A and B are shown apart, each in its own frame.
Chain A
């Protein structure tokens, strides 16, 4: 996976949280995701597939409590149910992040899928075979947020 793919997504994630929620996100150092051995926790993921000059997927994942805080802040009301509002908001978040990142990847023509959502403690994600997954950890006032990128030209 090319390093030049990473920064547009970091920038788009930071800008989307800022624009969507007025929240500051601090990106940590990207690292290779070890599918068999990872110590991070997440309960919900928003996933977008990429097609065209670059193929793969972009995933944003949250622990349940972080997701509930993000969505509560976004809707300006306390959301306690891990349901439709959370699914809708996280789907739209990853849609905006991916659409915005394309702006800084204009050497490639990329089509994006509709968002899909997976819930469940440390659920499995169907990554493309043989393509590494990069984890970008973010810190926020809500708690940890993770972006996963798995892309190939």
Chain B
């Protein structure tokens, strides 16, 4: 059981990893990806329990990845929490239509990320 953290900003991935570690999530169960394509490769190989997913990334963006995952019978059940700077309502709607499970706008508050991750871990 692994948690996948996807963001093209390494600093942002570190922040998210630290928040997860503060929630007593073992560092070894956190996997990182720096774009949607790398994330897709990992999702196809590993047993991923939750994805924390940025939107604006090179190669394959977050919403495109959500669409691919949601159309794949083996992967479509994975909870995806979008963590993005995109704060406009039409963006939130677009992400929900694509199939995200939850949506957090950056700058993030650690408490909110922790709460949501715990919620989907209990599942």
Are B11 and A100 in contact (CB-based, < 8 A)? no
Instruction: Classify the interface of chain B: helix, strand, loop or mixed.
Output: loop
Report the number of A-B residue pairs with Cβ-Cβ less than 8 Å: 60
Contacts of B8 in A (CB 8 A): 114
User: What is the CA–CA distance of A66 and B90 in the complex, to the nearest angstrom?
Assistant: 35
Are A112 and B56 in contact (CB-based, < 8 A)? yes
Tell yes or no: A95 within 8 A of B by CB: yes
CB-CB nearest in chain A for B14: A75
Are A85 and B91 in contact (CB-based, < 8 A)? no
Tell me whether A102 and B88 are in contact in the complex, defined as CB-CB below 8 angstroms, given that A112-B56, A114-B58 are known contacts.
yes
Are A85 and B11 in contact (CB-based, < 8 A)? yes
User: What is the CA–CA distance of A92 and B14 in the complex, to the nearest angstrom?
Assistant: 13
Are B88 and A92 in contact (CB-based, < 8 A)? no
Which residues of B, 85-106, contact A by the 8 Å Cβ criterion?
A: 85-91, 105-106
CB-CB nearest in chain B for A105: B88
Are B11 and A89 in contact (CB-based, < 8 A)? yes
Are B12 and A100 in contact (CB-based, < 8 A)? no
User: What is the CA–CA distance of A84 and B34 in the complex, to the nearest angstrom?
Assistant: 15
The contact string, 1 if C-beta is below 8 Å from chain B, for chain A 87-119, is: 011011001111110110110011010100000
Are A102 and B86 in contact (CB-based, < 8 A)? yes
Tell me whether A106 and B11 are in contact in the complex, defined as CB-CB below 8 angstroms, given that A20-B107, A95-B56 are known contacts.
no
Using a CB–CB cutoff of 8 Å, the interface residues on chain A facing chain B are: 15-16, 19-20, 74-75, 84-85, 88-89, 91-92, 95-100, 102-103, 105-106, 109-110, 112, 114
